[in-house]
Chain A
């Protein structure tokens, strides 16, 4: 149902956003194309976490992902990406399970992080929030 919802949101972007979003457009095709973890990082995460994952500055700054020991816990990383928290947006409905796993693996193995145990799409599905009815 969640994918179906995202589909409808895509279809009605700009004309009818979901009640929970209000007058903000929802166009954004989830999983429109397969992208590498690096591509997803460059095209999405980098806007806040910055090019070298050094984090932002200012009152609402995103934290550094570079050399971040918290990334050692796969469930921590996935939960943050899927559900968001404290300024981090929720990407459960914006990225496919593959994209989510790929980008999580990318940040866990770059920017001074070397956590080699791979995250799988099964991990993503296990931690994804319940679908909207």
Chain B
């Protein structure tokens, strides 16, 4: 049926596009469910700032820096206050020699070899995050493919396959094979007679046969046909012994483990589909590129202590975290991108509803562990090039580098990406305990771990003094009560960042939020 609908939709969209232009076309596409999830319609075209108008931007993450960049283009005098000793915020990469300080004074010194890195926060870019891709292009940030889907990675569940990791291809093919067989049986028993026409029953059976690789008896079985997707015991070769032997399929029951089917279906998530990208050399190449454009405008080590406003403008009190010197920044307007866990503990002169929103939105956390291994054994021994292996253990997954394939020498694995409650259990450990936990749990996939391990680093976001968490956690309930209050322009102040979006913890969220915020702030400034 879909095949017959598409041309008519396309014709309709073409007509709308001709009549109403790109915006009407975009809106129509959204209504019809065809548009990409981003709402990016090109960079903001702001101009005509009033002479002498100025903006103080709080925070030099991607939201703050894109706001500063575009407001400067519009004619505003811009300054940025940044709490850390580097610009970029969560757009963050750690390399050999870097120091990570935690809230309780714990210090880690990264020991990775030159060229190796870990992205503790954002690390991958969906192909449809057009705002981020636009700015990467504009700022000259080189991108390369991020291997998100690799069916040669493993799945491990403590409740399936006797706890033995399986290749994702094997379990994925078994899952659809068994489901196809069951559906075919249901059709043949007449169980679907009241919902499927006789004609479609025949077509459905044919589809199940092809999709599930069913045999002539409509059964999913061990065969060379199923092995052509799940892999062989002995793969096809050349010459005298070239004949392949099939691999043994596993049970339906094992595939019904949520870690198993959830991983397979998760690859279809709109934000996880290929092609994904990553910046060459580390995700912080994006923040660094923005910062280069804003040279001289970013004051580092500036801890904001108070934000006030009146008819004349905005006053921001801050303290230099190195010298202890207190200062005041004044501007006509303020774009505040300080994450809410910190902003909620700062005196901010905004309306009561906005204050309530700032205090009410909770954040969640995560922990990533980077393990530098002496060689790429996952490539050399197991033919895994990028992608992930997933587990029910607290580490969540092992992530394989998407760059530097085949290179000799050390490389960095993502040894843990702990979320949910596990993010906090990792944070409560010392860095050495986090690394040991990652080594122990990751060994379920790779027996080479202990022998090849060189050094590691464990970034628990809960323990980072400049954010104490990872990203915002909206619920429908919270959205109803607080979202519009959070994003509204309040006098001369507007908030921006991923917390002011419906996207969540993606770099695209920071950019789209900031672009929308400064567009509204600029309108307010011109109307004043």
Chains A and B bind each other: yes
Given A11-B258, A95-B421: A48 touches B504 (CB 8 Å cut-off): no
Interface segment, B182-190, B233-241, B247-255, B388-396? B388-396
Q: Contact at B471–A30, with CB atoms within 8 Å? A: no
Q: Contact at A16–B271, with CB atoms within 8 Å? A: yes
Complex Cα spacing A57 to B101, Å: 13
Q: Which residues of B contact A57 (CB under 8 A)?
A: 103-104
Interface string of B263-274 (1 = CB under 8 A from A): 101111101100
Q: Which residues of A contact B475 (CB under 8 A)?
A: 20, 129, 132
The 8 Å CB contact of A12, one of B266, B362, B420, B476, is: B266
Most buried by A among B341, B359, B463: B341
Complex Cα spacing A129 to B503, Å: 22
Q: Does B385 contact A (CB under 8 A)?
A: no
Q: Does A125 contact B (CB under 8 A)?
A: no
Chain A interface, >50% SS class: loop
- B483 CB to closest chain A CB, in angstroms? 11
- A106 CB to closest chain B CB, in angstroms? 15
Q: Contact at B266–A15, with CB atoms within 8 Å? A: yes
Q: Does B423 contact A (CB under 8 A)?
A: yes
Q: Which residues of A contact B124 (CB under 8 A)?
A: 23
Q: Does B488 contact A (CB under 8 A)?
A: no
- A11 CB to closest chain B CB, in angstroms? 3
Complex Cα spacing A133 to B476, Å: 8
Complex Cα spacing A61 to B476, Å: 28
Q: Contact at A50–B104, with CB atoms within 8 Å? A: yes
- A56 CB to closest chain B CB, in angstroms? 5
- In chain B, what residue has the closest Cβ to A50? B104
Given A11-B258, A19-B504, A89-B362: A130 touches B477 (CB 8 Å cut-off): yes
Given A22-B503, A89-B363: A10 touches B420 (CB 8 Å cut-off): yes
Interface segment, A67-75, A80-88, A112-120? A80-88
Q: Contact at B341–A15, with CB atoms within 8 Å? A: no
Q: Which residues of A contact B201 (CB under 8 A)?
A: none
Q: Does B468 contact A (CB under 8 A)?
A: yes
Q: Contact at B503–A56, with CB atoms within 8 Å? A: no
Q: Contact at B266–A94, with CB atoms within 8 Å? A: no
Complex Cα spacing A43 to B420, Å: 13
Complex Cα spacing A89 to B366, Å: 12
Complex Cα spacing A57 to B268, Å: 43
Q: Which B residues from 199 to 238 make CB contacts under 8 A with A?
A: none
Q: Contact at A48–B420, with CB atoms within 8 Å? A: no
Q: Which residues of A contact B261 (CB under 8 A)?
A: 11
Q: Which residues of A contact B476 (CB under 8 A)?
A: 132-133
Given A21-B504, A89-B362: A47 touches B462 (CB 8 Å cut-off): yes
Q: Does A34 contact B (CB under 8 A)?
A: no
Q: Which residues of A contact B123 (CB under 8 A)?
A: 23
Q: Which residues of B contact A16 (CB under 8 A)?
A: 262, 265-269, 271-272
Q: Contact at B341–A25, with CB atoms within 8 Å? A: no
Q: Does B517 contact A (CB under 8 A)?
A: no
Q: Does B70 contact A (CB under 8 A)?
A: no
Complex Cα spacing A4 to B504, Å: 21
Q: Which residues of B contact A56 (CB under 8 A)?
A: 103-104
Residue pairs across A and B with Cβ atoms less than 8 A apart, 18 shown, are A10-B420, A14-B397, A17-B419, A21-B505, A22-B498, A27-B392, A27-B397, A44-B421, A44-B425, A50-B104, A59-B303, A60-B103, A60-B467, A60-B469, A83-B362, A88-B362, A89-B363, A130-B477
Chain A interface residues toward B at CB < 8 A: 7-30, 42-48, 50, 56-62, 83-91, 93-95, 129-130, 132-133
Give me the 7 closest cross-chain CB pairs, A-B, nearest first.
A28-B420, A22-B504, A11-B262, A15-B266, A84-B362, A22-B505, A11-B258
Chain B interface residues toward A at CB < 8 A: 83, 103-104, 122-124, 258-259, 261-263, 265-269, 271-272, 303, 340-342, 344-346, 358-360, 362-366, 388, 390, 392, 394, 396-397, 399, 417-425, 427-428, 460, 462-463, 465-471, 473-477, 498, 502-506, 509
